[in-house]
Amino acid sequence: MEDNEIIALFNKRSQSAVEEASKKFGGLCKKIASDILNSKEDCEECVNDTYMKLWDSIPPANPNILSAYIAKITRNLALTKYRENHRQKRGSGNTELVLEELENFLVSDKTVEQQAERTELVSAINDFLSQQPKDKRIIFVQRYWYCCSTAEIAERNGISKTNVTTLLSRMRTALKKYLEERGL
């Protein structure tokens, strides 16, 4: 089913809307949740919550890219769940590795909120990404947005894990410099 047809089902408040969304994007949601969380139960809960949030948000929302919209909901829910879990115990999904890579990434010890308004920072990151070659941008987003493992990124993009690690390291450095130059 086409994305606009699924959105139309949500707008009509049709019970099959969630079913169709689940058929088309269930795998994507599970993948994102499982890469961030390390528990089948948490993952299932996160995916179910995604559909609930989808139901609550469309309408009024009318997403341009439904896959990205759903993926973003799942990611945010999974990160929230991860944060809750992390307060109690150490997880072992990809998220910790991603967090470690981002260590010392920003300029100072100030919190992100103190350094820049969120929108300004997002805008700068978007500008940075727009200047990157598509293949590099894809790898960056696969790692830091989808929290994919480096091995998986290597396989999906036909390069070695070492190349992925090196490329990400260079991109982190370049992004850091880019943000520093803009006082962020």
Amino acid at 164: V
- Give SS3 for 137: helix
Q: From the list 16, 151, 180, 183, which residue makes contact with another protein (rule: CB under 8 A)?
A: 151
Binding to another protein (CB under 8 A) within 36-55 occurs at none
Collapse the DSSP code of 61 into the 3-class scheme (helix H, G, I; strand E, B; otherwise coil) and give the result.
coil
- Piece of 4-12, 13-21, 52-60, 95-103 that binds another protein (CB under 8 A): 95-103
Residue 117 CA to residue 100 CA, distance in Å, equals 23
Q: Identify which of residues 103 and 181 has a Cβ nearer to another protein in the complex.
A: 103
94 binds another protein (CB under 8 A): yes
The least distance separating another protein from the CB of residue 13, rounded to whole angstroms, comes to: 25
Q: Looking at 12-20, 51-59, 163-171, which segment touches another protein (CB under 8 A)?
A: 163-171
The helix (run of H) or strand (run of E) holding residue 60 is none
Closest CB 183 distance from another protein, rounded Å: 16
Q: Is 88 in the site for another protein (CB under 8 A)?
A: no
Q: Which of 17, 34, 37, 42 binds another protein (CB under 8 A)?
A: 34
* CB burial of residue 70 (10 Å; 0-12, 13-18, 19+): buried
Distances (CA, A) of 157 to 11, 36, 80, 138: 37, 21, 29, 9
Q: Which of 69, 81, 167, 171 binds another protein (CB under 8 A)?
A: 69
